[in-house]
Structure 1
Amino acid sequence: MLKIIPLLLTALGLVSAAAYAAPELTVTNFGQSIETENVSGGAEVDDLWLWNTVGLKYDDWSFSLTAGKKWAVNTYNKDKKDNDDNFVSDNSRLQFDFSKPLTENFNLTGRYRGQKNFDRFQIGYNYSYGMFLSSGDVFYDFNDDKNTPDAFHAELFPIGVKLGPVTLKYYFEYVENLGEIGAGEQENSTEHQIRLYAPLYKGERLSLSTEGRFTLTADQEWKAKDGKATGYNHFDDFGRNRLYLKSNYAVSENLDVYLNVGYEIREFKGEDGAKDDNNKYWSNVAVGYNYKF
């Protein structure tokens, strides 16, 4: 019996050490932001989102959980009268992201996004080697609206180059609507872009950067209706140019506040008898904070 006791104590010590060394799920950061988006030329309605985000880490896995609520805000009342429809909560989002490094240069990523009108399941990757970069995501949308088909998406950055502080990437997007596509409905769409990322200023607390998105070509395919081609609009060649100005201010070692502004100028091309779309301008503003542990 006396010989067994040291063995038991040794075993308990090993178990305790293993339990102590086991990875723990920890909170890495949390933040909130308000984001608004508007397209001109159509209804004077802004999309207003309130975002809440928590970051987590377990061993070499990184996670984030985002919850958001959306309001449609009518910023122009033609009759100058109070209207209950001027501020309407019409959507919400729950999103879960993960990332795991598989090698020193390759990360696996994934996402689930649930909204009022669809559920999205997404898988992707990030790869870097020296000055070269590549990343991409493929995802499937299960749409709840019976008038909206399910869709397969691919958003890819097949090649990117980092030249000092500046990064240049080629972007390709493909969307395929699935199921039974009715006459006069869109079947698929493609878009090719060049994206540019660059720092503008780096101070002790304040940093500024920019992101540019420049469409090279974009096209769509629509199902014919009554034996005739369906008219539609797409971005003209070099007809979609977006620029972001992003600012970050380090209030303390742990707390950052930020303001991001985006603006886009669009030129559309009508096909098969369709008139050119007049939604020529898009804007986006996001303000928020992030606290790191």
Structure 2
Amino acid sequence: MRYFPFPEWRPAIRGFTAQDSRKTTCADGLRFGCVRGKNDSGSKRIPVPLLTARGICASALEEADMGFHWNEKVMVYALVVPSVAVTALWAGLSPKLPPSAGELVPTAPMKVARASHTSTLLPSGKVVIAGGFAGSGSERNPYSSLEIFDPAMGAFSLGGKLTIGRSGHSATLLKNRKILFAGGWGEFGPQRSAELYDPATGTSVATGDMSMPRGGQTATLLANGKVLLVGGERSEGHILAEAEVYDPASEAFSPTGSMSAPRVAHTATLLADGRVLITG
């Protein structure tokens, strides 16, 4: 079998072999179809390979008549090439060609509509989506559910639960590859509680409580592996200037210095010299 020279065409995930080539000599004409995947005439087109008894038919299809979303699973079938015996057709992923500058490419939706949730990039490249709430009027009923986004598949899957519902919380990937979820709003306002989620097992367990309730705070992983939590809202209208540090070794929070002014929904950035820049 010769190499098909289209860029980054991925190996078949699932395919099928046609009948004996002596019985599948194609009629005149050129057709194409697809299953398992949206056809979107406004999306990018992809090259389609066709395997024949003589190898790749270079004159098959340079571009399909209908496009697919990038990285979407598709199965190509019913390709008909004049006087060529078709021996195999293959399923695969569309090529990972870079989008045009400034172009946004849609992906699959989350399992649940969310606001004020967190998203944390794992070393595997997957992303953990945690908590949040459904929208206006549901702030006091936050989700405890988790979802995992797999960029290779372009899809979300359910990934366990937090110990309690949280929205406006913080999420920090620790050096031990667990995620620290802290604070956030619950049924009765900002919370003190925190928990550790292990992506390897999909389970979350409680860890030490913060020194005070917080929602809308920032959490910054420091070079020493500890986490600096700053500001947030303690209760309605009570904005915090206080900060505290979480130590993964002892699984405990301890107070540290305060900011010059109270802040909530601000930003925190670890600088190269080890200091943390707080803005907004």
TM bucket normalised to smaller: under 0.3
Q: Which has the larger radius of gyration?
A: 2
| Greater RCO (Cα-Cα under 8 Å, separation 6 or more) | 1
- Larger helix proportion of the pair: 1
